Amino acid sequence: MNPAARVLEKMPEEARRMGSLLTQAGYRFWVVGGVVRDALLERLPTDWDFSTDAPVEALIRLLSPSFRVIPVGLRHGTVHVLTAHGAMEVTSWEGNGSQAVLDDLRRRDFTVNALAVSFPDGTLLDPFGGRRDLERRRLRGVDDPLARFREDPLRVLRASRFAATLGLHATPKTLRCLRQAAPWLQETATERVREELFKLLTGPWVVEGLELARRTGVLEVVIPELLEGYRKKQNHYHAHDIYHHTLYAVHHSPARIRVRLAALLHDIAKPRVRKKIRGVFRFFGHDKENAGMAQSILERWLVPKKLAEEVCILVANHMVHGTDCWKDGAVRRLIHRVGEPLLEDLLDLMAADRMAHGTEAAAGEESVERLRQRIARILAEKPALDLSALAVDGRDVMAALGIGPGPQVGRVLKRVHRIVLEDPAMNRRDVLLAWIREKGRDVSDE
């Protein structure tokens, strides 16, 4: 059996239903685009796109009794059909049988995406040699690539995304066109750019994807700050320049967007703070600068606020060294500072950063693993990680000091919390009340 036909077996029931409604009325129905490509790669289908030669009015009339049909791009004849599997896209192409789907495929971005399988017989339509390109891991624009990139410059970024997610390599002609078209990416809506970028960053070939983005000029548009580290040497702890070290740190991080963004930005300010002192490059204060630059880049990409904040916390706290010598109190303070839900990402980032040094001298993954185990042990002891876990509260502070509500109450609680993080045995009501009576008045801002 033609392997692309297997995509039909995986088709959700609702899609099958749509196919039957249209084919019984004498029209044709094809599965198109990424899902066919993914079937050839034996990957699980994600979202479903279809094409039909039914005029859009007929399409809506035939599907409406069974589905909620939302006309999204009537100019292009596109509707969304709502199903339990999410919205499925059906595009109507008036034309003579297969001519309709050929017109559709010609509008797609890369040959590997310009594929269609006919329902229900399973015939593969591959007018641009996409299947062969996929086998050879070749990324090639459909038809006249430059004109196609002009129509929608997002395709230039999608090229790097497919390098990162599918391990494809651009052919020389496509590469030339990508280079010419990259500046046009500036005209594209930020949200679309961000979505593609996130997919790129979580791909298994992320180094190759980012390298293609650099060589084509996409990085220049999207994150020029990263290029400042290109060919910028570091010190003897590092085998790579700042740029390559960053790429390898992303690669060594797990494929989760939060930690990968943190890895991408973890040294972003380094080129700007690099100073040569007695012949050695030093990077004083770069953790704070990193977090500030990371924040402005994430804002520029309109990254949702919570995600952006979390990434900045990871960036600001990744420079943790000498933890083997730390007392438990210091580990508890780190847990408090970063917050329990971010700890796994922080440890993964620290390990990835060390793996990306590329030298023996700095290999410190084992110490990260030891810290991981210590954190697990300390968390199992259920330390008082926030003020609500203290054996005293604000009312106790006010009563013990004979004062009313005000900033002093908060200051005392914070100080008491610090004491408890240092020594959990102090978290007893009688002990803390005695401390507050004795020293609470003297607590001032830290």
- x/- site string to Mg ion, residues 295 to 334, per CB under 5 A? ----------------------------------------
Nearer Cβ to ligand ATP (54/154) = 154
The CA distance from 137 to 167, in Å, is: 7
* Site membership for ligand ATP, residue 33 (CB under 6 A): yes
Closest CA to 181 of 160, 155, 219, 143: 155
Nearer Cβ to ligand ATP (113/317) = 113
Q: How many CA atoms lie within 13 A of 251 on its CB side?
A: 18
* Site membership for Mg ion, residue 47 (CB under 5 A): yes
Parallel, antiparallel, or unpaired: how do β-strands 275-277 and 280-282 relate?
A: antiparallel
* Site membership for Mg ion, residue 13 (CB under 5 A): no
Parallel, antiparallel, or unpaired: how do β-strands 138-139 and 169-170 relate?
A: parallel
- x/- site string to ligand ATP, residues 195 to 214, per CB under 6 A? ----x---------------
* Site membership for ligand ATP, residue 318 (CB under 6 A): no
* Site membership for ligand ATP, residue 154 (CB under 6 A): yes
Nearer Cβ to Mg ion (28/161) = 161
Residue selected from 28, 29, 102, 108 as contacting ligand ATP according to rule CB under 6 A: 108
* Shortest separation between residue 158's beta carbon and ligand ATP, angstroms: 6
Closest CA to 29 of 93, 84, 80: 93
* Site membership for Mg ion, residue 438 (CB under 5 A): no
* Site membership for ligand ATP, residue 53 (CB under 6 A): no
| Residue span binding ligand ATP (CB under 6 A) among the ranges 58-66, 95-103, 147-155, 288-296 | 147-155
- Total residues contacting ligand ATP by CB under 6 A comes to 12
Nearer Cβ to ligand ATP (34/271) = 34
* Site membership for ligand ATP, residue 34 (CB under 6 A): yes
* Shortest separation between residue 222's beta carbon and ligand ATP, angstroms: 16
| Chain center to CA of 106 | 30
Residue selected from 131, 155, 260, 318 as contacting ligand ATP according to rule CB under 6 A: 155
DSSP characters over 181-197: HGGGGGGS-HHHHHHHH
Scanning residues 110 to 129, which ones bind ligand ATP (CB under 6 A)?
Answer: 113
Closest CA to 252 of 376, 169, 166, 368: 368
* Shortest separation between residue 440's beta carbon and ligand ATP, angstroms: 58
Nearer Cβ to ligand ATP (108/357) = 108
* Site membership for ligand ATP, residue 96 (CB under 6 A): no
The CA distance from 218 to 149, in Å, is: 13
Q: Which two tokens stand for residue 386?
A: 């926030």
The CA distance from 290 to 269, in Å, is: 5
* Site membership for ligand ATP, residue 258 (CB under 6 A): no
* Site membership for ligand ATP, residue 182 (CB under 6 A): no
Which secondary-structure segment (H or E) carries 132? helix 130-135
Q: Are 331 and 378 in contact (CB under 8 A)?
A: yes
Helices (H), 152-241: 154-166, 172-181, 190-201, 206-216, 218-222, 224-227
Using the Cα atoms of residue 272, residue 275, residue 276 and residue 281 in order, give the sign of their dihedral: negative
Q: Which residue's C-beta sits nearest to ligand ATP?
A: 34
Residue selected from 19, 27, 28, 49 as contacting ligand ATP according to rule CB under 6 A: 49
Query: What Cα–Cα distance (Å) separates residue 105 from each residue in 45, 91, 110, 123, 217?
Result: 19, 11, 9, 15, 27
> What residues contact 280, with CB distance under 8 A and at least 6 apart?
235, 236
The position carrying tokens 């961000």 is: 194
Q: Which amino acid is at 186?
A: Q
Binding site for ligand ATP (CB under 6 A): 33-34, 46-47, 49, 108-109, 113, 152, 154-155, 199
Binding site for Mg ion (CB under 5 A): 34, 47
